[in-house]
Structure 1
């Protein structure tokens, strides 16, 4: 599959395909694996990395789940193409910075990707819409077991799977979910929730993971350690916490509609008006307002299909996506103009928000 083909179709997890994705947008499972008889990528010389990639890439491409997949060496992609893959969460920012001896393999619906020679020899990743960590883990386990039959994994009977970073030693599993939490942010309770989650040994990060800020009221929650717990224990603990955060977000939305429906209506209405008529808008502002439109869709102010429209836009207005669509390098000012144009075009058939639904929710809570 060519890069252009990959770009033509949004992944199912990008379109709000799951019925329960209004708050939990996506679930992701990632496994770190290394080969026992060769140096880890960070220690390998360039010829060794190329040799390792040449050995691993056919094994990944031969998987049934990777039939007709997109498979490319990072050195053969432009900087914009690599950044597009980062924006789609198919490769990491760290891998995008690598060139010779690194590759990515992505299945057709973009729910499964394998990074070769990132920090570890293999990073296996599955993404699902909504809170479906178990489904993502089931797929990753299947391909992991297939690869282990033909590849000598670096494994210690006491420590578990050996990885480049000590925090991944053990299961090598990172489980995470992306949550949309505007209710907690607007009600100023997000700080308390983040602190509570951190005390449970979980990490809360921004939209693109470690070291990134939260944009569009989006937060990633993931496990921090992989040693001393089984895969089931890690996933069970994360699911419990995510369900609690999801409940807090629902309650925060209800409370906002009950206590100050006019304030909430004003935020949603202003976001709608600005996005429908803005001619210049930067990425941060656009994501914030799209978050409020998405909130309005979940609270009945807009038709339900607005949620999937916003999810697709969240990706399509990212800087690299805009440059790929334009097929040329753009200045930040040019991106801001094109971003506004795309949003105006996509939202032109969306009706004005039905603010009465917020008053109705408030009355229902008081009755």
Structure 2
């Protein structure tokens, strides 16, 4: 399978369909951290050890006959291709550092990503659309069980799976949901909710994980504890917190509609106007406007725009994909111009009608 396939398709698997509570929960991710017995962690291993780990993991997966994995070595990919893989949430930013001897194996539908030699020897990632914690975990667990049957994992009876960072020791599992929370952000309730979630043993980050911002009112909520709890307990705790957030967001949306409908409609349609007609469109403004239009569609205020187009633009608007699409390196201003042109083209009424006719 060619790298070109993953570069050309802007909308990755989890964006092409929807799951439960899809108006708020955009995706569910399970990530399992694993290491091989007898090797030092990536922070201290040698190039020779990295090569042996890479070879062992990739051979096991490519010979499995499952999912049609594609193998990519980070050091052999152009910087722009690596950036696009990050923007599609297929790899972490840390993996793209070529000095880390990193590689990735991707399933054809892009729901499964196995990162090799990131912070740990193996990072199994499974992403599903909408709110599907149990389904995503079952898929990740299936891959994990297969690899554990082929490779010797570093495991301790007292501490569980041994990981490079002590905070991942135990189950080695990070479960997360990516949530669109515009109403909680508009009403500023998110500022008091985040500390409360932290006290429950969860962490709230931006859409690209630790240290990232939350452009477009998109937040990633995940478990903070991996030791002392089973996988089922972690999933149950996260599910409980996510359902509370969903309920709070729905109430905030209802409040905005009942108390400030005209002001809300004005805000949402202004944002639609910007992304439909702007000639310069910075990434921050594009993210904010896409969030507003998404909210408008979910509230049935904005009609005749397919959500899949917004999902596509979420990826296309980012620097790596813009330059990949333009087939040229672009300055910041050139990206703002190109982004505006791209948005106008995709949101043209006749273009949307063409897309609808194709689906029929």
TM range (shorter): over 0.9
Q: How does 1:116-135 map to 2 (within 5 A)?
A: 116-135=116-135
Q: How does 1:337-352 map to 2 (within 5 A)?
A: 337-349=337-349
The unaligned stretches of length 5 or more in structure 1 are 352-367
User: How far 1:64 sits from its partner (Å)?
Assistant: 3.7
Q: How does 1:160-309 map to 2 (within 5 A)?
A: 160-303=160-303, 306-309=306-309
User: How far 1:12 sits from its partner (Å)?
Assistant: 2.7
Task: Provide TM-score, normalisation by structure 1.
Answer: 0.92
Whole-Å separation in 2 of the counterparts to 1:328 and 1:18: 36
> What is the CA deviation profile of residues 204-258 of structure 1, one whole-angstrom value per residue up to 9, with x for unaligned ones?
0011110011100000000112000000000000011001101100110000000
Whole-Å separation in 2 of the counterparts to 1:338 and 1:65: 39
Whole-Å separation in 2 of the counterparts to 1:211 and 1:287: 18
User: How far 1:4 sits from its partner (Å)?
Assistant: 1.2
User: How far 1:330 sits from its partner (Å)?
Assistant: 1.2
Rate the CA distance shift 1:273–1:304 in 2: closer, same or farther, 3 A. Answer: closer
Question: Is 1:27 aligned to residue 28 of structure 2?
Answer: yes
User: How far 1:305 sits from its partner (Å)?
Assistant: 5.3
Rate the CA distance shift 1:151–1:304 in 2: closer, same or farther, 3 A. Answer: farther
Q: What SS is found at the alignment partner of 1:65?
A: coil
| Residue-pair matches, total | 350
User: How far 1:268 sits from its partner (Å)?
Assistant: 0.4
Whole-Å separation in 1 of the counterparts to 2:26 and 2:2: 27
User: How far 1:304 sits from its partner (Å)?
Assistant: 7.1
**Which range is displaced more, 298-307 or 337-346?**
298-307
Whole-Å separation in 1 of the counterparts to 2:239 and 2:283: 31
User: How far 1:49 sits from its partner (Å)?
Assistant: 1.1
Q: Is residue 294–residue 306 contact of structure 1 (8 Å, CA) maintained in 2?
A: no
Task: Provide TM-score, normalisation by structure 2.
Answer: 0.94
Q: What SS is found at the alignment partner of 1:264?
A: helix
Whole-Å separation in 2 of the counterparts to 1:13 and 1:305: 19
Whole-Å separation in 1 of the counterparts to 2:173 and 2:305: 34
Whole-Å separation in 2 of the counterparts to 1:227 and 1:99: 30
User: How far 1:79 sits from its partner (Å)?
Assistant: 0.8
Whole-Å separation in 1 of the counterparts to 2:266 and 2:197: 31
Rate the CA distance shift 1:3–1:121 in 2: closer, same or farther, 3 A. Answer: same
